[in-house]
Every structure is written in structure tokens, then in C-alpha cells.
Structure 1
Amino acid sequence: MGDKATPHGAAGRAPSADRPSAVRNVVLVGHSGSGKTTLVEALAQTAGAVNRAGRVEDGATVSDYDEIEHRQQRSVQLSLVPVEWGDYKINILDTPGYADFVGELRAGLRAADAALFVVSAAQEADAVVGSTRAVWEECAAVGMPRAIVVTHLDTARTDFTRLTELLGSLFGGDDPDAVLPLYLPVRGAEGADGHAPATGLVGLLTERILDYSTGTRREDPPDEAQRPLIAEARARLIEGIIAESEDETLMDRYLGGEDIDLKTLIDDLEKAVARGTFHPVLAAAPAADGGKQGLGTVELLELITGGFPSPLEREAPAVTTPEGQPRPAVTCDPDGPLVAEVVKTSSDPYVGRISLVRVFSGTLRPDETVHVSGHGLADRGHEDHDVDERVGALTSPFGKQQRTLAHCVAGDLACVGKLARAETGDTLSAKDAPLLMEPWTMPEPLLPLAIEAHSKADEDRLSQGLARLAAEDPTMRLEQNQDTHQVVLWCLGEAHADVALERLRGRYGVQVDTVPHKVSLRETFGGPSAGRGRHVKQSGGHGQYAICEIDVEPLPAGSGIEFVDKVVGGAVPRQFIPSVEKGVRAQAARGVAAGYPLVDIRVTLRDGKAHSVDSSDAAFQTAGALALREAAAEAAIHLLEPVAEVTVLVPDEYVGAVMSDLSGRRGRVVGTEQAGTGRTVVRAEVPEIEIGRYAVDLRSVSHGTGSFDRSYARHEAMPAHLADKVRRQTDRAA
């Protein structure tokens, strides 16, 4: 990880790797607007993968992935950009920065061996904390190596020193010196606005000036005026590196006045970065007009190849058989058994389904038959499957291009065509020795979007379109609600929902309308009542005759419907008593007041009449339903609403705002508890009708730092004024 540019590959061919040690997989993480995609383009240009205009051979740009991204002017999906730098293939995984697409971020973390956190110097500290701190902690929990790159250095507010100190306090935890800059920006002449643009970098270890002012990196010695500014930052960096060194004598030697040689420092730095105990801060910017190398891009590529680990140094997820039997851990061996994972699924209008695959063991080759194993997420519309499929072509993506690959070795990534059954999260393995990888954690979608087909033609295509949408996006849950008879897409937020609708319309040709989401209300009796059902019809021929009398009384919550037979003397023949019960239960399912299922009652059949010829099963079913409706007309009917147990995790400073907001939603806070340093869990019970948009509202209340989950607790009586409102709405709809 020195200060010398490394030869790189040429544009126009697919980067490939023949051994795991030559692969580097790095995921870019950062807030929306931090400049991740621009940085990817700058790295690709410096590596020679694109020309000076940032375009590949056919005129497309490296960031040409999805029409939705162009229209919305933001990334909405995980994308892969492979480049070559020296003898290395670097798989750069660009992730969306918006919170609604955290599922794409999780997929990128799964496919990568190191993370590069992109922080904009123009953004406020709250944006850095809210969007990236949780991901930083997630990476720390699994020991993933991390570095930080600062973008947008040319903003007038930029103070690089102050920003790096802030990053040290935010991400260094108990050791701020574990997050330190390797380079300091060099400013050019001040413009008319008094702002001096960054034209180069100072290498703190080598004490060399890296001048990018001409668009091509040049190395110079510092002048005497710069040396005092370098000395302080250099000393702190050296101490930070030595503190992480495996050589316990190094600190004593340094404090004793020994001048530690540059090679030792760089070796220890690279080892500390690869172990995930030291996190260097760098700066980067796109090339100036006409330039071919952006500021800091050479240094960043050298950090990735020299400091980040190869796939050989990362432990693979645990594997089992599809039946759940444990198997020995897989290793990153190209000659080992095939174990690969689908980290992303997309559809191309011309090619069909394309699966982005990370190979953890073995070598994947085109046209071979593999076994596809899936955990299945039945509650999200994903079926569990266990099938053999033939692999299509292997390709390397670059924008909208797909360049053919001969194979994909362990540790590398590739796109696979024609896997018709494979979905995101599925495992590919040898057909004679199928395996299943431990799944990664998926965020729970908590924003409901109820939809209806716009026309009969759309209704015919809706089922297939939704199935394909669910196959691409495991963070989306597809629900066919049996109580409300609505089709509901559960999403992570409004932007996620917008993208889902646009994909249905543009990619799958299905036009849908959004409708208000309904919660599953219930009805129950407020007190005892009685009813008489009389179904007597004579219209020539065989008639219909059935009379039954019932008593109805409420039961405790959760009791369901209890039917009791207390008929004496054969007033209702024994063969027709089940018919009365069937009619009562059918009417209860339809509701008796506002059209919601009736629950928690005991219905007692106490008397009735029958006819020797005209009585029938159908007649007594009808009489039972009529009796229940008459009993309901004479009683107070309560509406019951579902109540959810809500658990909210927020920084301490937002606890008061969250509790106040929950109270305004008719919620009852049942407790709080600490969840690590500076974070609190708030537990509450809230009516579900009040938290339909809580996924969006919590983000606003907590400035993007909060998260929550919920689970069904029970149904309880709705306040009278709200129940009356629901009834009026039902009457108008009828």
C-alpha cells in the first residue's frame, strides 16, 4: 500500500481471475448523495475500464443499470463493477444509500470481504450517524475490514481535519486512533469565492506530495512550509499503526526514539486493516475535465488490493444439507465442492432472469447442471424449492453490458443466466451433493401497500408479475389477506413501494391501482341476546321449512365461536342441528354489523320447529343465519381492532419524541430498557390501524436513526367514536 501507481488492465474486456488470492470484493456503503456511484466511475476510469468521458465501448456509462435509477436520479439496487488493478481483479459492489433499499445493502455485505464507507464532506454529521453507524456496527460484529473515503472535498464548508476527528469519535469507539487519515488534501490557489480546491494529497507515511492538478498523478517532495503540518498528523498515524502491530516491542522502540522503517509500517498497516482493527481514512474526487485519474483514486485502489483481504482470508457462511443436517465448513478452494450463493436476482427483457452469484467454494462453469436449494420465505411469497437446473452463460457485468466469462473461481462473482427457479438467497451446489448456506438477515418490511389490478387484462398478468417481483426482492412480502380480501405488498418504505409499482408497470406490463389498506377488524356481542330464525317458503312443489331459536352471549377474548345444543323433545331433528351450526358459523364469518368476522361468542340452540317433508339441510342453514342476524339487531355489537406489540430501537436523545408519538397513536408504553451504549428499546402496545405508516413516520421522528418491529398481540374493543366512523364508511361503501 505505497504511493506508486500500479499498472492496470485495459478497457473493453471482462476482468477475470484464475485464483482466489487475485480477487478483492469490496462493498461501498454510504448515505444517499454521498457520491458512491460517482466514486465507482472514478475508480473505473483510473483502472482503465472506461475512457475519459466515463464511458465503456458502446457509449454506455458504468452506472447505466436500471431505467428507474435514471428517472429517480438515485441508486435503487445493488450493482457490480469489476475492474483490474495490476494483477488483481476488484469486484466493486455499489449499494443504494437510501434506507428503503437496505436489503440491497445486506446483499452487498454478504458478497463482499471488506467495506468502504463513503462519507460526503458536504453532509451534516447527523446524516453520517443516522445512515451508516448501524451498518458499521454490523460489520464490526462479524469482523469485516472497513475503511472510510471522504468525497465532495471541493465544498466551501469542508474542513478535512475536523471531519476526520468526527469520524474517529463516531466509528473508533473506545479507540479514536483506530480511525485515522493516511493522506491529507493539498489545496490549490483560492478562487474568487475564497475557496481553495483540493489539487493533491500528502502521503503521511512517505511524506510525498501526490499532485493530481493536471489530471494525471505526479509525485513530488513537500516544500518546507508543509513539513510542520505533516509532522503532527504523521506522528499520530504511526502511533495508531504501531498500537495495532503484532510486534509488541515496536511501540517501545518507537517511543525510545527509533525511526521505524517505512516497509515495517506499511506491512503492519496492511495487516491491521485486513484484521479489521484499523480503519484508514482517505479522500477521493473524480478527475478534472480531460484528466484520466481522479484525486485519490490510485491510493484507494492500492488500499483495496494491498490492505483489504482476499476471499481466502474470510470465513464462509455455515452450510447444511437441504434437510438441515450440518456439514463441514467450506473453504475458498477452486478445486473444492461447488458452493455458490445468489446475492441478487434481476430480469432483462431480452435475456430473462439474471442471477448475480458469489462462489464460495469450487469453480462454476457454464452449461453445467447444479442443484438449487432455497430456504423459502413462505410469508413473503417465496416458495421453498429443491431442484436441479442447468447453468446458462457466465458473464461479467459492466453497466448494461454483459461480457462472457469462461468460468468463475471460488471467491469471485459472476452473473448467471437462465436459472429459472433460483431466487435471491438460494444456494447453488453440485447436483450429487446438494448443500444449503445459512441465510443472511433480511429486514422486515413494515409498510403495507394494498393494490388492485387496473383492468381485466392486468388481473390476468398480476399473479405472474407479483411472483417475479418477489423472486427479485426478498425484502418484499406478498400477502393475500383472507380477512380483507386485499392483495398487499409489504415494503420497507415509500421509495421501495414506488420502485415496486414502477417495476410491475414497466418491466412486467402490469398496471395496478393503490387502495387504502384495511386492517383485520372483528365483531363481537357486547352483551347477551336472543334471536329467532324463520325460513318458510311454499311456492309449489317441494317447500322450505325451518325455524330455530338461539341465545347468544359474549365470551372472553380468543375464545372463538362456541356452539351448544340444548334442544329437547326433538323440536329440531338431530340431523339438522349441524345444519343450524353451519349456518351460524357462515353468518359469523360474514359479520353482522360492519361486515367483519364475528368472534368470541357462545351460541346456544334452545328450540325450533321442523316439517316432515319441507325441512332440509339448506333450510336450517338459512334459519341459523337469520337467527344470528336477529340476535345481533337486538344487541350492542362491538368492533374489535388488532393491537400490535411494537419494539422501537432509537438513540437515547429521541426516546422522548418516540414515546410522545406512540402515545398520540393511542399506544401504551409498557417499558424501556438500555440496548448498548447510547441506545434505548421502547416497548409499547399500539392499535395496528394507527401504525400503517409508522415505517415512514419513525424515520422522520428519529432523523433516520430508529428501527422497529412488531407482532400481533390480540384484538380489543375499538373506541366507540372510531367504531361509528368505520360503520359509516361501510354503509357508504355498500
Structure 2
Amino acid sequence: MGDKANAHPGAAGRAVTADHPASVRNVVLVGHSGSGKTTLVEALALTAGAVNRAGRVEDGTAVSDYDEIEHRQQRSVQLSLVPLEWDGIKINLLDTPGYADFVGELRAGLRAADAALFVVSAAEGTEGITGATRMVWEECAAVGMPRAIVVTHLESARTEFTDITRCCAEAFGADDPDAVLPLYLPLHGEQGPDGHAPLTGLIGLLSQRVFDYASGERKESEPGGDQLPVIEEARGTLIEGIIAESEDESLMDRYLGGEEIDYKTLVDDLERAVARGVFHPVLAAGPAAQGARQGIGTVELLELITGGFPTPLEHPAPVVTTPDGKAGPVLTCDPQGPLVAEVVKTASDPYVGRISLVRVFSGTLRPDQTVHVSGHGLADRGHEDRAPHEADERVGALSSPFGKQQRVLTRAVAGDLACVGKLHRAETGDTLSDKDAPLLMEPWDMPDPLLPLAIQAHSKADEDKLSQGLSRLVAEDPTMRLEQNQDTHQVVLWCLGEAHADVALERLRSRYGVQVDVVPHKVSLRETFAERSTGRGRHVKQSGGHGQFAICEIEVEPLPGGSGIEFVDKVVGGAVPRQFIPSVEKGVRAQAAKGVAAGYALIDVRVTLRDGKAHSVDSSDAAFQTAGALALREAAADAKIHLLEPVAEVRVLVGDDHVGAVMSDLSGRRGRVVGTEQAPGGRTLVRAEVPEIEIGRYAVDLRSLSQGTGRFSRAYVRHEPMPPQLSERIRQQAGGAP
């Protein structure tokens, strides 16, 4: 590494294509917001010749330009693909948002990639490696995904590369700190009056060469005498780390015996260890200086990607089934195999329409090809809006994105990524396969959206467009759930956080022309009788011709939770004719659904019909329905009515050092902690029962309490009486009697 030529023709002005999986590298960039991922992508694009020195493609837009919302919010909110070419290898860089609300975009990037670059900002020290970033590292480790670390912002004052690499080893090398080691040392210029020492180049530890970018182009030279002692110490540590992960068991004995291991052997072993996911090199990188042709450290990083990161051929093929659940064929990353591709992202372009970013796992995808679209039903995960779906669709144009351009592709082979136009029925997570042999992949895990956003159309014109806009929104984003609440009659978008909700509203407005108003989210309250009561319903009217006559007397008593509404007939002597008893029950149930105190449905009572009167001419079904409703209202007027609130079981997975704060917070929400359990990775599972009215914003508050590392789930348990003071306030707001 470090011996490749400086000049590369790159891919400026043309689409980057791949003829075989061996010539593809799919790399996802991971790091918290502000770590420098997008700047690094732009620097790599400049070095690869994909953009000009101003960081622009031919149409004048930046390579990272994609979404107007990102420009307004000054942060990435979605996954973006930037394809580059280096030494005949196509590199698909997947730039992911660093903000926690957009973890769904990160998960999509992980699904589409074969290796990961973790970007760490030296300017933030240990705080630059957040708990959320550590959790993503652990997820990658669990599936054996190769990883490397790139340190950015090394020009900042008080930045020590050795300190940052030590932090990386502690954070990412819990099992083997010696497997997280730098390949290069940074080369700094003279320190200025502001305390900043600009990053000017790198010193290669294996090659023992200096790569100086100070002139704007990478120049190679011998190290100075004052640099040799520092190189020697770090080089020895690196060689030992590489040899420890070598598949050649004799190499360690030879090294300990004093043999000088040649450079090529070390590089080959390093690249194999990186590709196997057992060694994680640390590199340094910086943006290109004004007018420079190359970003600092970008040549070294591109060499690592092309030489050390695995090809899609080394990526385990996904398990597939037929749409009816039968076992599918065993797939390999073969361009001649059966077509299996997955939609990892869906976006809408105001000019082109729907664009689907697709990872091809097997076969070859071509324009104008008819494919079968298969989608999982996710109703069992709470996504009532996502039912199983099957459809044949004709693929539109294939393209490769670059800035705001879409460069035409003639095909996408197994292992490659491409944008597909006009897949109108395909949603994120869907499988594309041969129409004559449809297959289905299991969708990747996504976090549950647990922050409710209740909305309503701003005007009648918006109301007409709202349904279509919402359906498109949730088709694009599997971390968003749409609920039409039948109890509260609210339209609720469930999001991951406030920033996620803001982006959803902005997309509704800017993409789909729908203006909505945010309203307070309501929980599904209930009412019940706290004591036995009686009521008499009298509906007697005479207005010429047939009148209306119905009288019934009922008794209402509370039942245990979960009993619903029970209706009992105990009329004797035919006081209420048999044909009108169902009418009384119908009236009682209709009134119960409307509520008797604050407008919430009545539950868990037994209503017993005791007596009544009828008229041979004027009694009717409608009259007894009205009498039944009146009787229930009268019984409620003379009784104590409880308002019932839904209680959820909340399961919080949090680091051990945050358990106390979480339990205290849950208690402050009227929660009852019912147990704790130790979980792997120094974490604790806290189980509690909490009123749902108290956890509307818990998705936001838990993130603050746990520094972004806490996770929780919620499930309805039961309804139980609210505290009297809260119950009375809600009744007064509803206009009901106290």
C-alpha cells in the first residue's frame, strides 16, 4: 500500500460500470453527525477524478448534492450513493446520516454494503466515538463485516493522533485491541499563531515512506532522521498485529526468530486480515487544499478499499424463499444466476418520479426487463399500512447517481448497485426477481418508530391529497408507520424522533404539495362505572298518527378489566316485548360507544334490563333504542364514573451506567418498575408498566437520558383508572360533568 500511481483518469462525465462482481467494492460510511463523512466522500471523489477541483460535477452541483431538505437543515437526512472508479475497480460509497433519527438510512446502507468505514472526528476526542457508533460496530462485528477507521479533523488544535487511535482501540477493539492499529502517521506543517498545525501528509509505516500533499499533489520521499524512531516503534507494533492475524502460522515464529518479513508479504497478509474482518486499520484523512488535486490520505484510503476490502463474491448470499414460504435456491453472487435484487432505498424525484436504489445479489438487472416485485407484510410488527404485495413491473432506465445527475447504465451485475426508475409498486425492502420464478428475501431489521405525530389537513385541498402523499411517504421510509386511529379519529405518523418528524412534514409539503397541521396526540381513553347504578329511559312522544313509546329500566354494575360490555335480559311478564329487547341492547351499546362522561367508550360493565313498558301501536325498534341509550345516560348521571387510561409494558435496554437515571425517570412518569435483567454488552433490560399518556415523547427523552444508546419497546397491557385530578381535568376539557 502506498506504491500506486498518483494520476487516475477517474469517472468524470461518464457512468461508472462494472462487468463482474470482482471489480466492485460496496462501502458504507458510518459516523455521528459532524464527523466528516460527506467531506471525506467529496475528497475521495476529487482524488478519483470524478469531480473538478471545486468539488463539482459537470452540471455545477456538488457530488453530495441530493436533497433540498439537507441543505435547509444543514445535515444529511438520507442515504446517498456516490460511485467512483480507482484502478479499474468500481467503488460504491454509501454516505449515511449520522443523526440518530435517520438510523433507518444507516441500516439500509449496511444492508447494501460489504464493508464499513467508521469516520471519527479527532476534534471531538473521545466524544467523537458515541455509544450509538459503538453499537453499530458491534452489529457489524456480529455478522463479520470488514471495518476500517478513518480519523478526520486532525488539523484541529490540541489534537493528538496517538490519543485518538488509543481511543479507537479501546472503543472498537474490546476483544482484541491489537487488531485496531494505524497504517500511517500524520504529517503536520508548522503550527500557526492560532495553535493549528495543518495536516500536510502521511508517513507509511509498512513502506517507511513519506507521502506529502503540501504542494497540492501527492509526492513521495524518504523519511527524515527525526522521524525514524517514531516510525520504528509504531511499525513494530503494526507488524506484530498483522502477523497475529495471519493465516500463515509460521510467520510469527519467523518474525520472533529475527527474520525481516518482506513488505509484500506484510501487505498481502494485511489485506487478507482486513477482508476477513479480523484486523481494523486506522487511517487519517483530510480535505483537499484550495486548488489541490487530491485530498490528504485519500490515495491511501482508496488503495485500502480496492486491495483490502472484500468483493461481493465474498459476501454471504442472502437466504431466499418463494412468496408462499417454500425454500428457494441457494444463491451465489453470479451474474448468470437467477435474478435477486433488493430495494434498499426509495426516493421521489419531482422530474423523474419514483427512483429505487437497488442492490443486485444474483443475476443481472437490465433496463426494460419485466421483474416480479415481492414485499413482506409487516402487520405483525405494527405496520398495518404494509400488507404483503406481489406484482409484475417493467423496469425503467437504470442509472448511476452523481450529484443531481442520473448517468445511464446498460446493466447492473450481481454485487453492484444501481438506481431503477418507474418501479411504481416497489417499496423499500422489497425483492425483485425473475417474473417466472419469483423469490423473496427477509427484510432487514428496522427500529420501531415510537414518537407519535398527529396531523390533519390544513385545508380541503390538502385533504384531497393527504392520503396519497402519506402512502408515498411510508413506502419510501420503512422506519415510519401510518396509523388511522379508530378510537381517537386521528391520523398519526409514528416517527423515530423530532428531526425525523420534521423531515416527514417537509417532504409532504415540498414533494407532494400537502400542507398539514400538527395537533396534540390523543391516547385511547375509556370510561367505566365505579359502582352499581340504575337508570330509567323514557321515550314517549305523540305528534299525530303513530307516536313513539318506549320505557325501559336497567341496572349497571362494574366488571373486571377486559370484560367488555355484557347485556343481560331479566324482564319478566313481557313488560318489554321480546322483539324489542335486542333494540334496547342496541341502544345501550351505541351509547356506550359514545361514552357517558367525557366522550370515551364505556367498557367493563354489565347492563341488566329489569323492566319496561310498551304500547301496542306506538312502540318500535327505534323508540326502544332511544330508550336504552337514555337509560344508560341516566344511570351514569347518578354514579361515579372512572376514566381509564391505557397502560403499556415498556422494556428499556440501556447501558449499566444509565440504569439509575432511567428508573428514576420512569417513576416520575407514574411508572412501576416490575423487573430488571442483565443483558450482554454491559447493558440492563428494565421492564416497567407506564401509562401511555406519559410516554408520548419517551423516544426523545430516553435518547437524552442515555446519550443516544438506549432502546425501548412498548406494548399495550390494559386500561386502568386515572388519578382523580388528572381525570377531572380531562373531563372539564371534554365538557363533561366532574
Instruction: Work out whether the TM-score is over 0.5.
Output: yes
Aligned-pair Cα RMSD in Å? 1.2
2:177 is aligned with 1:176: yes
Residue 679 of structure 1, CA deviation: 1.3
- How far apart are the structure 2 equivalents of 1:205 and 1:299? 12
Write out aligned runs for 1:283-298 (5 A): 283-298=284-299
- How far apart are the structure 1 equivalents of 2:661 and 2:318? 39
2:448 is aligned with 1:451: no
Write out aligned runs for 1:375-390 (5 A): 375-378=376-379, 379-380=382-383, 381-390=385-394
Residue 224 of structure 1, CA deviation: 1.0
Residue 713 of structure 1, CA deviation: 1.1
Partner of 2:18: 17
Partner of 2:46: 45
The one-letter code matched in structure 2 to 1:728 is Q
Aligned residue for 1:360, secondary structure, equals: strand
Partner of 2:322: 321
**Could you report, residue by residue, the CA deviation over 1:334-356 in whole angstroms, capped at 9, with x for unpaired residues?**
00000000000000111110000
Q: Is the 8 A contact 2:372 2:392 kept in 1?
A: yes
**Could you report, residue by residue, the CA deviation over 1:11-53 in whole angstroms, capped at 9, with x for unpaired residues?**
0001000100000000000000001111110000100000000
In the alignment, structure 2 segments of 5+ residues that lack a partner are none
Q: Is the 8 A contact 1:447 1:490 kept in 2?
A: yes
- How far apart are the structure 1 equivalents of 2:686 and 2:598? 34
Partner of 2:132: 131
2:679 is aligned with 1:675: yes
The one-letter code matched in structure 1 to 2:396 is G
- How far apart are the structure 1 equivalents of 2:736 and 2:50? 63
Residue 706 of structure 1, CA deviation: 1.1
- How far apart are the structure 2 equivalents of 1:127 and 1:294? 22
- How far apart are the structure 1 equivalents of 2:491 and 2:398? 36
- How far apart are the structure 2 equivalents of 1:485 and 1:13? 52
Give the aligned length. Answer: 734
Partner of 2:499: 495
**Could you report, residue by residue, the CA deviation over 1:671-718 in whole angstroms, capped at 9, with x for unpaired residues?**
112111321111111111001000101111111121111111111111
- How far apart are the structure 2 equivalents of 1:232 and 1:524? 76
Q: Is the 8 A contact 1:345 1:424 kept in 2?
A: yes
Residue 396 of structure 1, CA deviation: 0.4
Partner of 2:473: 469
Partner of 1:4: 4
The one-letter code matched in structure 2 to 1:607 is D
Q: Is the 8 A contact 1:129 1:170 kept in 2?
A: no
2:401 is aligned with 1:406: no
Partner of 2:341: 340
Partner of 1:505: 509
2:729 is aligned with 1:725: yes
The one-letter code matched in structure 2 to 1:5 is A
The one-letter code matched in structure 1 to 2:515 is Q
Normalized against structure 1, the TM-score is what? 0.99
Aligned residue for 1:685, secondary structure, equals: strand
- How far apart are the structure 2 equivalents of 1:682 and 1:213? 54
**Could you report, residue by residue, the CA deviation over 1:330-382 in whole angstroms, capped at 9, with x for unpaired residues?**
11000000000000000011111000000000000000110000003344322
**Could you report, residue by residue, the CA deviation over 1:265-284 in whole angstroms, capped at 9, with x for unpaired residues?**
11111111111111000011
Partner of 1:607: 611
Q: Is the 8 A contact 1:5 1:298 kept in 2?
A: no
The one-letter code matched in structure 1 to 2:429 is G
The one-letter code matched in structure 1 to 2:23 is A
Q: Is the 8 A contact 1:479 1:489 kept in 2?
A: yes
- How far apart are the structure 2 equivalents of 1:603 and 1:249? 85
2:313 is aligned with 1:312: yes
Q: Is the 8 A contact 2:572 2:611 kept in 1?
A: yes
Q: Is the 8 A contact 1:2 1:266 kept in 2?
A: no
- How far apart are the structure 1 equivalents of 2:45 and 2:90? 12
Q: Is the 8 A contact 2:120 2:128 kept in 1?
A: no
In the alignment, structure 1 segments of 5+ residues that lack a partner are none
User: Which residue, 633, 639, 646 being the options, matches 2:650?
Assistant: 646
The one-letter code matched in structure 1 to 2:496 is L
- How far apart are the structure 2 equivalents of 1:3 and 1:595? 76
The one-letter code matched in structure 1 to 2:97 is P
- How far apart are the structure 2 equivalents of 1:313 and 1:105? 22
The one-letter code matched in structure 2 to 1:504 is L
- How far apart are the structure 1 equivalents of 2:562 and 2:218? 73
Residue 130 of structure 1, CA deviation: 2.1
Query: Could you tell which deviates more after superposition, 382-391 or 401-410?
Result: 382-391
**Could you report, residue by residue, the CA deviation over 1:240-276 in whole angstroms, capped at 9, with x for unpaired residues?**
1111011111111111111111111111111111111
Aligned residue for 1:602, secondary structure, equals: strand
- How far apart are the structure 2 equivalents of 1:240 and 1:2? 19
- How far apart are the structure 2 equivalents of 1:709 and 1:176? 33
The one-letter code matched in structure 1 to 2:725 is H
Q: Is the 8 A contact 2:183 2:281 kept in 1?
A: yes
Query: Could you tell which deviates more after superposition, 191-200 or 394-403?
Result: 191-200
Aligned residue for 1:122, secondary structure, equals: helix
Write out aligned runs for 1:55-94 (5 A): 55-94=56-95
Q: Is the 8 A contact 2:593 2:602 kept in 1?
A: yes
Residue 127 of structure 1, CA deviation: 4.4
- How far apart are the structure 2 equivalents of 1:397 and 1:732? 59
Residue 733 of structure 1, CA deviation: 13
Aligned residue for 1:392, secondary structure, equals: coil
Aligned residue for 1:366, secondary structure, equals: coil
- How far apart are the structure 1 equivalents of 2:736 and 2:556? 29
Aligned residue for 2:129, secondary structure, equals: helix
Q: 1:419 to 1:628 in 2, by over 3 A?
A: same
Aligned residue for 2:392, secondary structure, equals: strand
Partner of 2:537: 533
The one-letter code matched in structure 2 to 1:4 is K
- How far apart are the structure 2 equivalents of 1:233 and 1:252? 20
User: Which residue, 587, 594, 607 being the options, matches 1:590?
Assistant: 594
Residue 175 of structure 1, CA deviation: 1.1
- How far apart are the structure 1 equivalents of 2:128 and 2:180? 19
- How far apart are the structure 2 equivalents of 1:677 and 1:402? 43
Q: Is the 8 A contact 2:215 2:292 kept in 1?
A: yes
- How far apart are the structure 1 equivalents of 2:377 and 2:3? 48
2:272 is aligned with 1:271: yes
Aligned residues with identical type, % of pairs: 80
User: Which residue, 617, 625, 637 being the options, matches 2:629?
Assistant: 625
Partner of 1:544: 548
**Could you report, residue by residue, the CA deviation over 1:623-652 in whole angstroms, capped at 9, with x for unpaired residues?**
111111111111100011111111111111
Query: Could you tell which deviates more after superposition, 655-664 or 3-12?
Result: 3-12
The one-letter code matched in structure 1 to 2:278 is T
Partner of 1:141: 142
Q: Is the 8 A contact 1:30 1:36 kept in 2?
A: yes
Aligned residue for 1:123, secondary structure, equals: helix
**Could you report, residue by residue, the CA deviation over 1:470-496 in whole angstroms, capped at 9, with x for unpaired residues?**
111110000000000000000000000
Which 4+ stretches in 1 moved above 6 angstroms? none
Residue 124 of structure 1, CA deviation: 4.2
**Could you report, residue by residue, the CA deviation over 1:32-76 in whole angstroms, capped at 9, with x for unpaired residues?**
000111111000010000000000001011011000001001000
Normalized against structure 2, the TM-score is what? 0.98
- How far apart are the structure 1 equivalents of 2:681 and 2:338? 43
Residue 383 of structure 1, CA deviation: 3.2
The one-letter code matched in structure 1 to 2:361 is F
Q: Is the 8 A contact 2:731 2:737 kept in 1?
A: no
Residue 388 of structure 1, CA deviation: 0.3
Write out aligned runs for 1:478-489 (5 A): 478-489=482-493
Q: Is the 8 A contact 1:3 1:203 kept in 2?
A: no
Aligned residue for 2:30, secondary structure, equals: strand
- How far apart are the structure 2 equivalents of 1:375 and 1:195? 53
Q: Is the 8 A contact 2:53 2:292 kept in 1?
A: yes
